[in-house]
Structure 1
Amino acid sequence: MVDTPPPSSPSLSSGSSVSSLSSPPTPPNLHQNSVDPAAKWIIQKFGGTSVGKFAVKIAEDIVADYLDQHKVAIVCSARSGSTKALGTTNLLLKSASEALSRTRSPSETGPNTPNGVFSRTSQGPSPVGSPRARSKSSPRLETPFSSLSMSPAQSSFNATVDLLRSEHITAARTSVRDPEILKELEYEIERDIDALRSFLFATQVIDEISPRSKDSIVGYGERLACKIMTAILRDRGVDAEYVSLENIVPFPDDGEVQAETETLGQEFYDKVAAAVGKRILECGPRVPVVTGFFGPVPGSLLRQVGRGYTDLLSALLAVGVQASELQIWKEVDGIFTADPRKVPTARLIPIISPEEAAELTYYGSEVVHPFTMEQVIRKRIPIRIKNVENPKGGGTVIHPDPEIDAVSATQEASEAANGTATKQWSYKSLAQLTTPGGPLHTGSDVAHKHPTAVTIKENIVVLNVNSNRKNVSHGFLAGIFGVLDRFSVVVDLISTSEVYVSMAIEQGVEKRALDKVVRELKKYGSVTVLRDMAILSLVGKHMRHLVGIAGRMFTTLGQGNVNIEMISQGANEINISCVIDGRDAIKALNLIHQSCLQIKPEGAKGRMGPWLF
């Protein structure tokens, strides 16, 4: 319980299409966004783990610290669970699968089953402020006959939905202290759970879930997470407003409907950014808490964007309000020179280019999806990776073009969080940022003379195709790529010669599908399969000017008795990759980090110690 409850019960929503709650006047003691016309927007995106474990910390130690000098908008992913399988999105997808995997009763499939009218027997929503306990059973069909009666197998999704309800009710009760806010939040959770249950029941009746319906089911995760975060913020004295974007994307006119296989163009994302920005500006001084789910997208949001749509929405929001910075809050301090869990000497990278960040993302490091980066970088908006558990840390800045443009407000934002802001930073180049006296100076010139980072991508399968003809026809490569296309196999690395092709793909491909791919590839030559391999990648923007860096990399691996299966260099010349045995992954990572990035263990002198070999 709070010592001094607010004078009136603040509403979670203001005119939301999802919530029917009215919005009373804001209590005077709530903290709002800065009203200074010169104040810039900062978009803060929080992942599912952060929302699930650190929601109170976000409200007390992060959001509130930025409000005096900035305008803040928050984007939340669906809450995570104690395990990945218990994450909200996974449970929602599981419930959708369960709705379609029921067993039909004999009466339902019999020849004399008549047509009937069905309706829900559950009552409508309770009056505002009077939440009641909802039945844990699925809505019953009421018909003049029993042919549509439901069996336990037909309502198997109920247990999963009940688990979702329990997880969110528990989170609400352990995080919100004010009884009035908690009462309203519980009502909103119950109403969303009822709506989800009804939606799943409808899909069970028609025995079909379209891609758009699956989008809607997954969207409940962000709605629930954002409502909980809104309540926690208001409970902690921040004037927050829940903003649902499920209807922000207008349906296309007839004749403009986009095929599911067609990629959405940049014009579409520009329109979404403008619409989202306009909606956020309507919140006035309140802090918007925005759902990462942004409604029905032509061709389905999950198919067109994937489960990273929350990151994309935060980027589009940053573009829509012309933010000074997009902050991605994780459970790590930023981007490191290597995975610190595997390389003890790994250190934080203060600033990195989008090209380097994209390479690290693709080859194993979870940074930011390249397409998400593209949306903000093209508008010259920097991205800062920060740690929820260490909000005072500076994090890593992914800057649009550190050689040319200013790092707009990034250092100012960091100082504002630390409470030490004294001036507006306006450095014009990476050199000014990293030279002695610059805010990102590391105390050495390592950043200018060596690669940026090394990463490893494990669980890789290598397919080697050796042509069975001495003189290969022009259709050899076309045939191989045609096979990969038919089975939707994504190739991470490829190395070719006139009669030989080596391809590295993720081991996650289903074994049955991989067997079919191998069988088809055998039409073009002999095929060998190497499993449990790993891709080792050395990444750095300055590598294109480093003479001998590839030689040093491969010599180091050779000295460490690490066999190289294949080698590839990116066309942008900022990445050198090779495939090695997965058993050597950790050793190779440490070897390359120590040799090519010149990061030696404490006390080490001269050449690499024998402990690495």
Structure 2
Amino acid sequence: MIVMKFGGTSVGSADRIRGLVDQVEERLLQRPVVVVSALAGVTDLLIRGAGLARDRDPQLAPLVSRLADRHQDMIRELFGPGPFRDRLLRHVADLMTELGSLYAAVSAARELTPRNLDAIAGIGERLSFEIVAAALEAGDIATRAVDARRLIVTDESFGRAVPLMDATAQRVRELLRPLASQGVVPVIPGFIGATPEGVVTTLGRGGSDWSASIIGAALPAAAIEIWSDVDGIMTLDPKVAPGATLIPAIGFEEASELARFGAKVLHPATLQPAVQAGIAVWVLNSFNPAAPGTRIDVQPEDAASEPRGIALRKEVCLVLIAPPRRSGDGFRARVFDAFARHDTPVDLLASSEAWLSLTVSDATRLPDVVAELAAVGEVQVLQRMATVTVVGRGFARRPGAGKRMLASVDNLHVLMIAGGSSAESLSLVVPVEQVEEAARRLHREFFEQEAREDPQGEPPEACAVAAWGA
């Protein structure tokens, strides 16, 4: 068995769904299990609609009409008059009624809870997976639509639910294995799951990749394929650096770091289930299926510490905390307890004699953290920051790596350099308006020049301190 996950652009039009049918048909002998995202842009519209409902904005009605029209138009383009079209149009009508009720509840309460938002945000996948299943069936492929709310069991962390793997694995094996063994292609909506009591949850934005990996590990599958609109994992986003090139093969740890620091090819949690199950993950292009793609797998222990790729993340907050003169040994513990208590992950950490400096990419609850930290020390928050990260196996331990990075961006405003939680990465923090230029320069330095000896200098650990200046 294999798992084939198709992203929003891969199901974004009738032509793309026809291409999906062809790609699945080519792999029928491998007994595929298909996971699909919502149509491109639909989740954003659903979430925007939730905000309009809360604010009782009259623009909500035309937004709902746009959602309905887009799916209905696709159905009419894919299917002629007959049972497939009729069934799917009823499906869309039923879900639009459900969506209207959810929006009405938000509007009546003038409040958008994480639980309500999950129920709303997951409507897109519930619309798309039935359309894809019908398209496969119309192509004479034995197919069964299986709702992920029956498969993916999660906790109640609405918006970022955590799968309960034992319960999920049992359901996957009970519901999907028999279908695949009979030559039936299961089609499953990504991104969504449900609590043991059946309440809808979501796995976070981009969570359909994670859904595919969870299902692949539970089956277990021989491979997990992530189909998107790029040829694979690139050395940098080609929109930022036209000279970016394909990475044909990369280790799990490196790919995880690229995802964690902003590369949008994969959801950051995608690889963990695959790593634990020892399953290779492929990143492939549904628009260019002949492209070889990128294979993500276990890397040999003796692999060289070469840079493999660069990731950037915009709209990061840099938090600076100055301890009181007599802070004692508990200062750092109090800081980290505050972030943990308010469910605000810290991405990067560096320290100097004067400051403890860290970055946060999810600032939803940062005001609560800052309010609590005011009792610990002086706190400053710098907004509209960004991180650019060079990733490679053992790269952070490479002598001179930090100095080489700093030299390549010498006239940009670098506020911090720090290693990640592993030895796979080194990151710079710069103002958001400078991050693309920083990424291009780093790409030229590490990927577009003739190979040469690194300049010698202190190891990067000695550089992992904050640097301030106007």
Q: TM-score, normalised by structure 2?
A: 0.82
Contact (CA 8 Å) 1:47, 1:329: kept in 2 or not?
A: yes
- Report the alpha carbon displacement of residue 541 of structure 1 after superposing the two structures with TM: 0.6
Distance 1:393 1:473, change over 3 A: same
Q: Which residue of 2 aligns with 1:590?
A: 440
Report Cα offsets for 1:402-445 as digits up to 9, x if no partner: 328xxxxxxxxxxxxxxxxxxxxxxxxxx9xxxxxxxxxxxxxx
Q: How does 1:159-558 map to 2 (within 5 A)?
A: 159-177=62-80, 179-197=82-100, 214-248=117-151, 268-283=164-179, 284-292=182-190, 295-298=193-196, 305-399=203-297, 401-403=298-300, 448=304, 450-469=306-325, 471-485=326-340, 487-506=342-361, 509=363, 518=370, 521-543=373-395, 546-558=398-410
- Report the alpha carbon displacement of residue 210 of structure 1 after superposing the two structures with TM: 6.9
**What secondary structure sits across from 2:415 in the alignment?**
strand
Report Cα offsets for 1:117-171 as digits up to 9, x if no partner: xxxxxxxxxxxxxxxxxxxxxxxxxxxxxxxxxxxx8x99655443322221111
Of the two, which has the highest radius of gyration? 1
- Report the alpha carbon displacement of residue 528 of structure 1 after superposing the two structures with TM: 4.0
Q: Distance in 2 between matches of 1:301 and 1:397?
A: 36
Q: Distance in 2 between matches of 1:304 and 1:293?
A: 6
Distance 1:288 1:175, change over 3 A: same
Where does structure 1 lack aligned partners over 5 or more consecutive residues? 1-40, 82-86, 103-152, 252-257, 405-430, 432-446, 608-613
Q: Distance in 1 between matches of 2:432 and 2:72?
A: 43
Report Cα offsets for 1:520-576 as digits up to 9, x if no partner: 545444444434332221110142664333332223333xx2343222123421211
Q: Which residue of 2 aligns with 1:115?
A: none
Q: Which residue of 2 aligns with 1:129?
A: none
Contact (CA 8 Å) 1:458, 1:582: kept in 2 or not?
A: yes
Distance 1:286 1:556, change over 3 A: same
**AA partner of residue 27 (structure 2):** Y
**AA partner of residue 261 (structure 2):** Y
- Report the alpha carbon displacement of residue 196 of structure 1 after superposing the two structures with TM: 4.1
Contact (CA 8 Å) 1:335, 1:396: kept in 2 or not?
A: yes
Q: Distance in 2 between matches of 1:356 and 1:606?
A: 22
Contact (CA 8 Å) 1:176, 1:231: kept in 2 or not?
A: no
- Report the alpha carbon displacement of residue 359 of structure 1 after superposing the two structures with TM: 1.0
Q: Distance in 2 between matches of 1:449 and 1:318?
A: 30
Q: Distance in 1 between matches of 2:338 and 2:429?
A: 22
Q: Distance in 2 between matches of 1:250 and 1:349?
A: 34
Please state if 1:600 is matched with 2:449.
Answer: yes
Distance 1:286 1:552, change over 3 A: same
Q: How does 1:24-43 map to 2 (within 5 A)?
A: 41-43=1-3
Higher-strand-fraction structure: 2
Contact (CA 8 Å) 2:119, 2:200: kept in 1 or not?
A: no
Q: Distance in 1 between matches of 2:311 and 2:264?
A: 10
- Report the alpha carbon displacement of residue 286 of structure 1 after superposing the two structures with TM: 2.4
Over aligned residue pairs, what C-alpha RMSD do you find?
3.7
Distance 1:455 1:244, change over 3 A: closer
**AA partner of residue 204 (structure 2):** G
Distance 1:590 1:59, change over 3 A: closer
Q: Which residue of 1 aligns with 2:463?
A: none
Q: Distance in 2 between matches of 1:519 and 1:281?
A: 51
**AA partner of residue 343 (structure 1):** A
Q: Which residue of 1 aligns with 2:461?
A: none
Q: Distance in 2 between matches of 1:96 and 1:581?
A: 31
Aligned length: 450
Percent identity for Structure 1 against Structure 2: 29
Q: Distance in 2 between matches of 1:458 and 1:208?
A: 28
Please state if 1:74 is matched with 2:55.
Answer: no
**AA partner of residue 592 (structure 1):** L
**AA partner of residue 467 (structure 1):** P
**AA partner of residue 403 (structure 1):** P
Q: TM-score, normalised by structure 1?
A: 0.64
Where does structure 2 lack aligned partners over 5 or more consecutive residues? 455-470
Distance 1:549 1:176, change over 3 A: same
Contact (CA 8 Å) 2:119, 2:201: kept in 1 or not?
A: no
Q: Distance in 2 between matches of 1:288 and 1:533?
A: 43
Contact (CA 8 Å) 1:215, 1:300: kept in 2 or not?
A: no
**AA partner of residue 451 (structure 1):** P
Distance 1:485 1:299, change over 3 A: farther
Contact (CA 8 Å) 1:334, 1:387: kept in 2 or not?
A: yes
Q: Distance in 2 between matches of 1:467 and 1:545?
A: 29
